[in-house]
Each structure stands twice: as structure tokens, then as C-alpha cells.
Structure 1
Amino acid sequence: MFLKLGQTRRSRRISRLATCAFVAAALAAAPFCTSAWAIDFERDVTIEGLTSQSLRNELRALSNLVETDRNYTSLAAIRRTAQDDADRMLEALTSKGYYAASIVPKVVRSDDRALITFEIDRGPRFNITDYRISYQDEIAADRPQTFSEADVKTENDPSGEALVRLENQFLTWLQQNGYPAARANRHFVEANFDTGNAVAVFEITTGPEAYFGEAIVQETDRTRETFIAAYAPWEEGTLYNRDEVVDYREKLGKTGLFQQITVEPGQTQPDGRTDLIVTVTERDHRTVGAGVSYATDVGPGVSLYWQNRNLMRRGETLTAQAKLSSPEQIVGLTFGKPLPTLPGRFESAISFTNDITDAFDAQTLELSSSLSKTWFAEKLEASGGLGIVYSEVEDARARLSTTDEFEADTFTFAKIPFSLSWNSDNDLLNPTRGFRAGIGLTPYVGDVNFLRGTLTGATRTTLGDENQYTLAIRGLVGSSFGVDTNDIPATERFYAGGGGSVRGFAYQEAGPLDAEGNPLGGASIIEVNTEARYNLREKIQLAVFLDGGTVSDSEVPDFSEEVLWGAGIGARYLTPIGPLRVDLATPLNPRDSDDAVQFYIALGQPF
């Protein structure tokens, strides 16, 4: 018995071991068995019931069965995905105004292929016959009951995009007319399936009617709160208008003092008064910068500057700068003070300039001050000022009268510049749209007495499907009245030629020259520049240009004299601080003294 019992136990133990081994082998073989028996269905998707190919393509793009590479090993998973696709397609049709649309997805197996068909009954596109505004709060105010009362035009368009557009336009009107807290709760349509018409319902909450209070500035690091509040364009007690709040924020941004600005309406008081809460994060108010340039006519150039943008905590700027190149070296110090309540700006400057050019050698010291006022969101500016100038000048015209050495002429005079300008450029360094024009009159009183006038203009426009092309045009006309050209200090004459003038001609040389090829300058000038720019890539532009100009001794430009023309090609690399510009130009009607090619490198567009 014992032996038999032992033999039985042993048999059972062997049986258990064999069973475990079989199970382990089966589990190990499971992946291979699965891959051998599972089917990775290929999918054919068909959309039926639509005559519009563009709409069919739009709905296909919403299908995960079409657009994803997921592997499906069961028809159940394909059916679930097909239903999800149908729901998305139905939502898309509803958003286009097909409120009665229906979509039935069908899935049929054909060997290892799944045939998916979306049977679509689009139904009629509904018409919006009425728009209803449903206010969700009860207030004592005369709010518009229809879109027309809010100057919002309806188009009977049933699409969701059109309804959202109308909703946003209505909210904008509310926020521009006394309701800073206006918001949309939801919008929906009530469709009549028998007539194919629908009513759009907009549920709106406005909050109480509000009137401007004061700008309350939260604690700042350095800038005085009264200075920040002074930029507020509204009058206290006037009806709240979001546009004035946006204007206020933009004005604060243009000061350059802040890296973050938040302006939010506070709690509306029982009398309707609503203060604006202003929070700012200040930038570092000191800046050091440098720039470089190069041109074949003047060689390399370097500019350096240091600026304190908040000298006395009210946005005052103190700028020290130096511009150094072969023909001209300038050092100067400028103090500027914004006047937000004017609105405008006061500036005072002192500068010393050393000119060493083919036209003249001069050392000039100038003290100046100016006051400006702006209108129309700073697009229109009027400016007037006073400058006292002391200059020692030796110029090419004086060399014509003698071959002997002579002393430089000394000039002391005051100039009183007045200007009126309009600037709607959309960017400071790389404008692509906008118009800039200006007229300037400057009387000179002292050792010389005359009147100088200038008229300038520049415009740009974009062309092409994606604004790939930019066409830029610039013009300048200048005149000097009441003086002979020889009596005008060489530093105050007109000159043309160079990278910012008539490209293709050397600096100051697009005008009359003496026998040795030195520029003489003149009493009047005319310049015209055209440039076409092409966006080759996101940050690379190519350009072709044609420049023309001339300088004459007459008080007004003499159009009978030869206009000098230059043309060329260029490239611009668009950097965060403006385009890096490279231009290659040649004169089209050169004189014997003109070089065949001029090359320019600078930062910023030429105009």
C-alpha cells in the first residue's frame, strides 16, 4: 500500500508538471497564434448622397477611418469609429445650416477588407428668418433689442461661423457703449423642419451700464502712478467704451517703459462709475546698443548709444549717442520728456558734428529744443522748435574762387523749424502698409537769412495671394528761398546720392560737381525712389529698385536739368530688430567721375 500510494503521488506530481509545462508553452506561443489568426482590415471609405465634391472632401477629412494609420483588427472597432466619424460629419453639416441632415454609417466585410459607406441625406439649407436677443440679467437700462439697433447687419446666413461673427459684433457694440462686462452665454437655433426656416437665439449677459471713473494704478517699481494715469484718454463720467481702454493700453506700450500692461474694468458702483485697474510690469530702464553699416562710397560706419528711459520717474529719456563713419562723426546728448496730457513731447539736445567730405569740411555745434503735439492716435504730428548753430565750414564752392589757402567761413545763426507730418506705417523698421508724408518750413536768421522748405512722402502696398510682394515708393522735394546758393552754408545745402538717397551714386555726388569731381550741393533737390520686394522665404526678401534725383542752384528744382538715375538689386534678412539690408547698385547715366558699382550694408529698409 505504501509503495502504491507513493507511486500514485509521484504520478500525480508528474501530471501536474506536465500540465504546467503545456500551459507555459501555450502562453509563449500565444502571440504567434494571435498574429497568425488576427486580420488587419484594409478600409475603403465611400461618401454617398452629396453632389458637391468640395463638401465631400471636407467631410472625408473629418474621418478617422480615412485620415489615421491605425490598424483595425475587428469590425466592431471599425463600426465604433465609423459612428464617431458620422457624428463629426453631422456636426459639420449642422454648422453649415443643414439642420435636418442625417448620416447613416454602414460597415460590410469583404474578405480582409472593410467597406465603409456613409449614406448622407443633407436636406435643405435652412434660412435664418429672425434673430432674437435674450438677455439673461435684469437691469434698468435701455439695451438694444435687435441687431439693427446695435448697427449689426444680418445676412440670413445659417452657418455657425456667421452666427459667431454676429455674436462677436454685438458684444463689441455693447462693450463700446457702456457694458464692460458683456458676455455671450450661448447661441442656438430653433428650426422649423416643415418650412426650412429657423430663428437664431443669442443669450447675452451685459451687467449694469457703466461710466468711466479714474485709472487706478497698482504699485509700480519706479514709474510714478500719476504719470501712468495721465495717459488715460477718457473723461470721467462719460459712457464706458472699450476702444478707449485699448487706446490707453497702446499709449502706455509706446512709452517703452513696460513689458506687460493689464487694464481691466473694476466693480461697477451703484451710480454706474467704473474705475479702471492698471497693472504694469516694468522693463529695465537702461539700454546700451550698437549698430554697423558699410558702403563702398563712405566705408564702414558704427553707431553707439546709451539711454535711460525713466530718468525722473515720469518717462523722461536721456540718450547719449555717437555715430562714426569716414565722412561724418557725431556725438550728442538728448533729453526728452513725454507730455501725455497735451499729448505731445518736449526735447532738448546738444550735438557736435565733424564732417570730412568731398563737398566740405566742417565742425558744427548745435543746441536745440522742440515741442510737438499729436492727434489721431499719434498719426498726425505738429512740431516747432529753435536751434542755435555755430559752424566753421570750408567747402568746395569756396575752392572754386581761389587757388590759395584760405580760412574757413564761420557761421552763427538760429533756425526755427516747423513741421507737420502724417504717419500711418504699420511698422517702424519694416513697414509693409501705410503712408507717410510731411511738410517742413525752417527760417534761418543770423549770419545767413533764408527760408528752407521740404515736402516728403512715402507709401507701401502689398500684392499677391499671400502678400508676397511689397511695392514701396518715396519722394522728396526741397527748396531754399531768398538766398543765393553760394551764400548758404555748405552744411545746410541739399545733397543727393548714397544708400539713403540715390543708390548707384556715391555719397552726396548725385548733383553738380566741380572740375575735380567734388560735390557742390545746391539750393533745391528732387528725389524719387521705387522698390519692389519679394518674400522668397519667411525671413528672406529679394528687392529690385530704381532711384532718381538731382540738385540744382535754383530756388525750386529745375526739371530741365538732367536727373541722375541708379538701379540695382538687393536682399534683406528679416531680424527681430529690423531687416539687415544688402544692396548693389549702378548708375544708369554715369558721368566720367562716377564708379560703376556701389555696395551698401545697413539695418532697416531704405524707406
Structure 2
Amino acid sequence: MRLIGRWLGGVLACKATGFALLFVFARLVHADGLVQIELAGLKGEQADNVRATVTLFQLDVEERADLPEGRLGWLIRKTPNEVRKALEPFGYYTPTVDVQLLPTMQGAKVMITVTRGVSTKLRQRSVVVDGEASDDARIQKAITAFKPSIGKRFVHSTYSRSKAHIESELAAHGYFDAELLKARVEVTRADSAADVDLHWQSGRRYRFGPLYVDGSHIDARVLTRALGEPTGQPYDVNVLLGVHQRLTDLDYFGLIDIQPQIEMADGDQVPVTVDLSPSRRTIYSAGLSYGTDSGAGVLFGLDRRWVNARGHKWSNRVQWSQVNPRVDSTYRMPAYRWFDGWYFIGLGYREESTDSVENRIGEAVVGRDGRFGEWTLGASLHALRERYLRARSLGDYATALLVYPALQANRVHYDDPLYARKGFSLSGEIRVGSDALWSDFSFAQVLGSARWVRGWGEQGRVIARGQFGRTFGGNLQGLPTSLRFYAGGDRSVRGYAYQEISPEDAVGDPIGGRNLLVGSLEYEHMFDEQWGMAGFVDAGNAFNDVSEGLRIGIGTGLRWRSPIGPVRVDVGHGLDDPKRGWQLHIGIGPER
């Protein structure tokens, strides 16, 4: 028999497992079927779980259209208990469920209204780990962090994650024989309270046995330094993660598989196998770029991941652009003293030609860099020969030799390297030149930059960035242009042309400043996966005297996440001159 037509039934109230069930049981003819099921009183995950649990929601269109009256009554009677089961994982054990069968012009409708009631709180908690792990600070930290806390709503998923975290920590720190002796959760519905009792016996803590490496094409002495010597140390998965990270950073291997062989343990020592396979030895790369600062550009690269069995590397870059073409070649050798990284020797040549700057620079550099915790640190010695335009109005060129050591520090932490929704980057550098090192000028220079990104809602994000620099010592007019500061452009103060913001000489030509300060705040909103808009406020200056103040630029822009990389089209307006027009800024390439 099908549903809907005329109602011949009445209202019947009944009790089911402590829930009030109210429904209309109808004898219906000439039906169009059950056409609608509605849920009220819940939202989010709780509503989703009810819909996934209640049988009525699982009926497809054909089943609803031909639903017999007897089966409908049975499904309605079982709904309150199904709702209760669906809400228990969220800490609600005593909900009130009201189910009604209602007529509509199109057919029958089932209305399920839920009142969650009082949530169940955690009343007592006993979480104990006996054995050697009872004195392990990391295991005790996991116990202390156990959720939910006393007095908080007892949510099954939170409890399960905390329980799994303790078991994971036991395994991660070598307690492979750990056994869960007791796992009890007792819920008292009358008191809306839950009690938890967990008890593990950790057993002994295992140690690292020998490391067995297979498939490497690099000299064993190089790998030994990268792998370290964990044999005999207490087992800790973080040690293996560190080994994996060091091997990844070397970039020699396409496959890195590190596995503790627990079943092959000898006493309390667990051997570890390291299976490797070589990466592609030579990498060729090419790319295109465009920016209103740099003009059109093309990049070619050739990298040798390893030159010889000692793991040396050689990389080469040729980058041509309308404003600043350059060529670089760098040779690297593995380094492990103090921290993992590289010794390097580099040669490079670059040019720059703008309305503000014209120079040609040849450079040689030797140095050492590497990872120290979350930071990449570097120390280098630079020898730089620069031919530069000293005064554009006079066509006066000069040549300078700069020899200076430098220290660098960088940290990058983003949730997505291509399109971050959360994270930051920091960088800093100190340069010191002296005529005692055969440099034509004695100077000191400090540079720093920062960028911060946070998501704002589902589609937006806020981006803040800053940059500063200061040059000490030397006659500014005599310093090469590479040591002077300029502001303005795509990645500086938008609304102004590239390097437009600068102190000027007597005839109005920009000559660069001793100080740099730039800040930017931008809001970006994506309408879909590819297209979005942005609004920004930039402020900054390149100056010699702090009384010169800041130049401010405001504007808006288009964002396109294209197949070849992010594309940014901005129009900005500098506020220092009301008659100033709008400046177009176009950038193609990764965010920085």
C-alpha cells in the first residue's frame, strides 16, 4: 500500500527506552509516498552522524515511494534509539526525540526534532602506565595531556585520540611490548557522568641495533655521517625521522625507506634497515617570469645531484630578464661539523639597469650553510667587483672592489609552500667590509625581512610583510649602488615605480639611501579555486634621515592561481601627490 491521500489515523504517544516518541500513524491511500525527512535541533557533525545512522535517511527515492505502512511504523519506532546511538559519541546520552508523520501536498513528511539534553561530563579518570615507562617524561607528558579533562563533556572521539596518543608514544619510544591491561568507560545516565579507567604495562624499553643500508651509490663514509651512530641508544622514532630528513636534504635518493625490524630484535636491540635508490642524477629546468619591476624573464638551470661518490653537487643558473640578467654556478660539498649542511664555492655575474641604478657585478663567494633546528644558517666570504653609474646626470661611472664576510639566518614555516593559509618566514643578514680585507670601502650593513600569512574565513587570508636595512660607515656618495637602498615596486611599496623612492641628488636623480623601512598589509579573497581579488596598503621609504617620513600606497588587485603559477595584477596609487596617477604592477611566479 502506498502513502498519502486522506488521514484516518490519530495521534499515539508511546515510550521507548526513556525517550518520548510522538508520531501519527495513518492509514493512507492514493499515495505519492514518503517525500521528505527533516531533522531539527542539531547541526554540524552531530546532524551528519544522525543522518548517517538513522535508517529512514538511508532509504532511496524508490524505497520511499513504495514504503509499506507497516514498515514505516517500524522505522519510526526505532528512530529514537538510533538517534540516541548517534549522539552518544558526542557526550549526549539522554536526548528527547520527537518523531511526527505529517501530510503535505506532495506526500508524507517525517519530522524528527531532537533536544540533546544535559551533556555527560567526565567525573573520574585513572590513566596509569606501569613498568619502565612510568619514569619516562614523554610518556608522562602524554598522560598529563589526556583529554577530556575532569568536568568536561565526554566526547568519544577525543577520548579515543588521547588513548591512541599514549599507545603511539609508547611505540615511538621503544616500548614495543606494552600491553593494555584495562580499558573501561562507565557512563551513569542518571548522573550524566562518565568514568574512565586505563592501565598499561609498558614492559622494557628497546634500544637501537645495527643499521643495515642497501642500495646506496654514495660513499659509505658520507652516509655514516648523515646516518649518525644510534646503535646502543634508547629507541626513539624521532632519531629515525632525523635520519630520514638528513637523507632527504642530501637529495641523492629517490626512495628512502627506514624500518625498525622489531621481530628481528636481539635481546633489547632492534636492527634498522635503510633501503635506498638513486634519484635522477642530472636535472634540467626552465621557466618563465614577468614582473613590472624586472620585465619579462626566462630561466634555465642544470643541476648535478651528485658529481662523484663523495656526494659533491654542482648547480648552474642562467636567468635573463630585461632589468637584471644573471649567471650563477655553485659547487657544494657535504658538511657535518656543528650542524648538517654544505661547504660551497660560487661564481656569478649580474647586471641591473633601471632609471635609478645601473651596474655590472662579478662575484666570487665561499661559505658554509646548513640546517640548525628550524633555521637555515650560513656564513660566507664575498669578493665582488662592481662597475656602477655614480651620477646619471654626468654619466659618471666608477669601479669598486668589495670584500666582506656575511652571516645569514632564514626560517620558513608555511602549511602549504604554493598557497599558504597559515605560516611565516623570517630572514636576516649581516655584512661587514673593511679595507683591511682589501675592500675599497669599510662598512657594515644589516638587513632583515618577514612575512606572515593567516587564513580569514573560508576563502580569505591576511598577508603582512616587512623589510628593513641600514648601512653604517663610509661616504654614501662613494658606496657602490649594491650597498644603497631603494624602495618602490611590486615587492616593496606599490603605487610607486620600481626603486622610485630614494633620496635624490641636486638634479633630481635617485641616488639611494642609507636606511630602508617597508611594511605592507593585504587582504586577499578567492571567489573560487582560481580567481580572487585583493586590497592592500603599503608604506615605506629609503632614506638618510628619519624625518623624511614614509611614502604610502593603496590599491587593489586581481589574483589568478594559474597552471604555471600565481599571477598577481595590482593597481596602486601613491598618496604623497594628489596628481600622481595609478601604477600598474604585474607579477608571475611564487610568492615571497
With normalisation by structure 1, the TM-score equals 0.75
Indicate yes or no: 2:234 matched with 1:239: yes
Whether the aligned pair in 2 keeps the contact of 1:260 and 1:280 (CA below 8 Å) is: yes
Alignment of 1:155-166 (within 5 A): 155-156=149-150, 157-166=153-162
Q: CA deviation at 1:320?
A: 1.2
What secondary structure sits across from 1:417 in the alignment?
strand
Q: Does structure 1 retain, via aligned residues, the 8 Å contact 2:568–2:588?
A: yes
Paired residue type of 1:584? V
Q: Which residue of 1 aligns with 2:295?
A: 299
| 1:74 paired residue among 68, 72, 88 | 68
Matched, 1:601 2:590: no
Residue 384 (structure 2) pairs with residue 384 (structure 1): no
CA separation of 1:531 and 1:411: change in aligned 2, threshold 3 A: same
| 2:348 is the alignment partner of 1:351 | yes
Pairing of 1:433-448 with structure 2 (within 5 A): 433-445=423-435, 446-448=438-440
2:514 match: 523
| 1:581–1:604 contact (8 Å) kept in structure 2 | no
Equivalent pair of 1:175/1:240 in contact (CA under 8 Å): no
Cα deviation, residue 471, structure 1: 2.8
2:474 aligned to which of 472, 483, 498: 483
Displacement, 1:447? 4.9
Residues 1:96 and 2:78 are matched in the alignment:
no
Distance 1:524 1:214, change over 3 A: farther
Contact 2:555 2:570 in 1 (8 A): yes
Q: Which residue of 1 aligns with 2:388?
A: 393
Q: What is the CA–CA distance in structure 1 between the aligned matches of 2:317 and 2:376, rounded to whole Å?
A: 25
Q: What is the aligned counterpart of 2:307 among 311, 317, 326?
A: 311
Match of 2:371 among 371, 374, 377: 374
Structure 1 CA distance for aligned equivalents of residues 192 and 89 of structure 2: 15
1:474 aligned partner: 466
Secondary structure of the residue that 1:537 maps to in structure 2?
A: coil
Q: CA deviation at 1:384?
A: 1.6
- Counterpart contact for 1:38–1:73, Cα < 8 Å: no
Q: Residue 487 of structure 1: SS of its match in structure 2?
A: coil
Alignment partners' CA distance in 2, 1:508 and 1:196: 68
For the residues of structure 2 that align with 1:515 and 1:169, how far apart are their CA atoms? 69
Unaligned regions of 5+ residues in structure 2, if any?
1-28
Q: Mark the runs of 5 or more structure 1 residues left unpaired by the alignment.
A: 1-36
Aligned pair in 2 of structure 1 residues 270, 257: CA closer, same or farther (>3 Å)?
closer
Q: Which 10-residue stretch deviates more, 448-457 or 437-446?
A: 437-446
Q: Distance in 2 between matches of 1:537 and 1:380?
A: 35
Deviations 1:34-79 (A, max 9, x none): xxx99774267699xxx95556886356334235424234346546
Aligned residues: 548
Larger Rg: 1
* Partner AA of 2:327 in structure 1: V
Task: Give the drift of 1:121.
Answer: 11
SS state of the match for residue 328, structure 1?
coil
Match of 2:359 among 358, 362, 365: 362
Q: Work out whether residues 211 and 231 of structure 2, in 8 Å CA contact, stay in contact via their aligned partners in 1.
A: no
State how far apart, in whole Å, the 2-side matches of 1:84 and 1:373 are: 64
> Against the structure 1 CA distance between its residues 209 and 88, is the aligned structure 2 distance closer, same or farther, given a 3 Å change threshold?
farther
Q: 2:143: which partner in 1?
A: 150
Q: Secondary structure at the match of 2:382?
A: strand
Q: Which of the residues 163, 166, 183 maps onto 1:170?
A: 166
Contact 2:134/2:140 (8 A) holds in 1: no
Q: Percent identity?
A: 20
Inter-partner Cα distance in structure 2 for 1:534 and 1:357: 33
One-letter code aligned to 1:604? P
CA contact (8 A) 1:496 1:525 kept: yes
* 8 Å contact from structure 1 (residues 107, 117) kept in 2: yes
Q: Decide whether the 8 Å contact of 1:511 with 1:521 is kept in 2.
A: yes
State whether residues 494 and 583 of structure 2, in contact with CA within 8 Å, keep that contact through their aligned partners in structure 1.
no
- Say yes or no: does 1:492 pair with 2:483: yes
The correspondence for 1:249, drawn from 232, 244, 251, is 244
8 Å CA contact 1:443–1:451 kept in 2: the answer is: yes
User: Deviation string for 1:210-231 (max 9, x for gaps)?
Assistant: 22345433324x4556545544
Contact 2:495 2:553 survives alignment (8 Å): yes
Change in Cα spacing, 1:181 to 1:343, as seen in structure 2 (3 Å) is farther
